[in-house]
Amino acid sequence: MTSQYLIFDADDTLWENNIYFERAFEDFAEFLAHSSLQPAQVRAVLDEIETANNRIHGYGTLNFARNLRETYLRLAEREVREDDMKTVIGFAERILEAPMEVIDAVPETLEYLASRHDLTLFTKGHPEEQRLKIDRSGLGRFFGHTAIVKEKDAAAYRALASERGLQPGVTWMIGNSPKSDINPAIEAGLNAVFVPHAHTWVLEKQDLRPGAGRLLVLESFDGLRDWF
């Protein structure tokens, strides 16, 4: 086929990410031990705080630690001690020590695609944290270009396409997040491939929206070989 421009999301597309945040929240909810709120209700408070703070501070583990801290201060039913705050922050900091777990079939699929197409890695989050993940994953060698941005919205996709001279008709965004990967890419006039993940962050979920570009939905990452 004609060479295509393939743009890849990173977290929960190439490697596991949100499962570690979910485990941190479970530990946090158990430590909070709220007398009347169920974990789902505690999570709703955290989601509210994260939605507000992400616009200001962005994403990443350190910002998640800030959000857990704020949630604890809002919901704690006991006197807040310094040791309590260290414990809460520790739930988030442990994420930085989590093993790098590349998703099944990703390396061999990227190797196959890199021999046929132009590959770009496009991720959001704390730049140093994302670069460390890329290095630890060993996947950076497959990409001709890497971009780390604060937010992946339609404007960010248009800017990336303009800077790199990507032709919309042969450019595809591949990811697990409707909010950050699929809908904004389609809005920007690009094509997209949705590869669902069982543990996609709740704040990244949206209904898929139609647009000018083509949309593919695949069950697994290695399904890309059948299309590209």
CATH superfamily placement of domain 5-16+101-226: HAD superfamily/HAD-like (3.40.50.1000)
User: How many Å apart are CA 58 and CA 71, to the nearest integer?
Assistant: 17
- Architecture of 18-97 per CATH? Orthogonal Bundle (1.10)
- Arithmetic mean of pLDDT, 143-161: 96
User: How many Å apart are CA 85 and CA 157, to the nearest integer?
Assistant: 38
Residue 136 above 90 pLDDT?
yes
Residues of the chain with CATH 1.10.150.240: 18-97
Instruction: Name the residue with tokens 């260290």.
Output: 86
Mean pLDDT of the chain: 95
Q: Taking a C-beta distance cutoff of 8 angstroms, is the pair 150, 133 a contact? A: no
Residues of the chain with CATH 3.40.50.1000: 5-16+101-226
Q: What is the dihedral of CA 198, 204, 207, 213, to 10 degrees?
A: -100
User: How many Å apart are CA 119 and CA 204, to the nearest integer?
Assistant: 23
Position 210 confidence tier, pLDDT thresholds 50, 70, 90: confident
Residue 48's pLDDT is: 96
Residue 1's pLDDT is: 66
The tens digit of pLDDT for each residue in 22-74 reads 999 999 999 999 999 999 999 999 999 999 998 888 899 999 999 999 999 99
- Arithmetic mean of pLDDT, 4-12: 97
In sequence order, the 6+-apart residues with CB closer than 8 A to the CB of 219 are 195, 196
Position 211 confidence tier, pLDDT thresholds 50, 70, 90: confident
Q: Which of 51-55, 109-113, 171-175 has the lowest mean pLDDT?
A: 51-55
